[in-house]
Amino acid sequence: MSYLLKGVRPLGGDPVDLVLNEGVIAELGTGLTADVTIDADGLIALPGLVDLHTHLREPGLENAETVESGTLAAALGGFTAVFAMPNTQPAADTAGVVEQVYRLGRDAGYCDVQPIGAVTQGRAGKQLAELGAMAESAARVRVFSDDGDCVSDAVLMRRALEYVKAFDGVIAQHAQEPRLTEGAQMNEGVLSGQLGLRGWPAVAEEAIIARDVLLAAHVGSRVHICHVSTAGSVEILRWAKSKGYAVTAEVTPHHLLLTDELVASYDPVYKVNPPLRTAEDVTAVREALADGTIDVVATDHAPHPVEEKECEWPAAAMGMVGLETALAVVQQAMVDTGLLDWAGVAERMSAAPARIGRLQGHGGTLERGVAANVTLYDPNAPWAVEPANLASKSRNTPFGGRTLPGRVVATFLRGRATVLDGKPA
């Protein structure tokens, strides 16, 4: 079936008609026809979004999320590909597990699922996992991470960086010095003292980033820093990039918008790792995303069942869901503030994550002949986030009850609609 997107604005530019047919963008122009016409007047067309940091929880934690429910949430958020983190049960540390996740994504059909392999066996930080076997598997893993935990052993980190060079892989580091964050509950500062919650100091993130950019430079390998949250981290990344080191970084939508003052409510929906930081940190990560010091927006979509979040703050799990709200939050934090245009959003939410993860067929341009992975977005459609209406199996969104400025209207994966009129197709 072919689709005509009539009057759509590619990357927010001038209106044009765009035809999707046989898996590719077949035509751009005026006066075009197709099997199905979508009135896209005023809608923005973006290359299908790519999330470099998603927790799909399957296998083993299906009470929180499954590959099917998580990828449906992704499609509703405008994503055509997601990278699935390996903190499953068992951990995705073998060729068998990553191939299982890869095939579950293919069978669900909402978006492409590219597994991330664990760096160490069982994510225990003791011995390297089967990095080569995962790279050679059907899933062709190129991103490795122990996310949720830091590869804190410097020797092990060096060996991992050296190993993945052979197949152009990258280590995605969860930058958290473990001894400095034992028992941490929120950002360390005056507020943590007032609330009586143990603090997670900024230096615990910054020290690991400094170490790892130097290690990566020393061995000539690529390192990617997950969910950057502090102004100090931004300065280290800016310095490393000025030296030409092969470092990339991401920021989450929630770290672009929310501050640690929300923790004063003691509502565990705001409990996340790394923690929400100060307004000064939020300003710094926004500016870094705008100037390219931070390359990517990644959701860190982290679903948890009700019993793990609706409890006292110290006992609650860390994490937030974010696939369905990501683009609207980025609009509010970056576009509506004038820090990014829609071409900039496309670079940071589609092209850059695909490039870092060496993912073929995604992150391209909206030109004739390229794969028809397309997101249609209405920037003038405010909506109130109702957690019960999310497609994810979990409801732990920090944006419940908030009004966001725009929403995804349609998503196409290789020319096939996965979302139409804001609903599963």
For 104, phi then psi, to 5°, come to -60, -40
Which position has the token pair 């068992």? 90
Cα angle at 319 between 68 and 363, to 5 degrees?
Answer: 55
Annotated binding site: 53, 55-57, 87, 147, 174, 227, 273, 300, 304
Checking DSSP bridges between strand 186-187 and strand 170-173, what pairing results, if any?
unpaired
* Long-range interactions of 242-245: CB distance < 8 A, separation 24+: 243/217, 245/213, 245/216, 245/217
Q: How far is CA 32 from its chain centroid?
A: 35
Containing H/E element for 417?
strand 416-420
Annotated binding site for Zn(2+): 53, 55, 147, 174, 227, 300
Which residues neighbour 235 within 8 Å (Cβ) at sequence distance 6 or greater? none
Annotated binding site for substrate: 55-57, 87, 273, 304
Which residues are annotated as catalytic?
300
Instruction: Give start and end residues of each alpha helix (H) in 90-244.
Output: 95-108, 131-136, 154-164, 190-195, 202-219, 231-242
Helix, coil or strand: residue 45:
strand
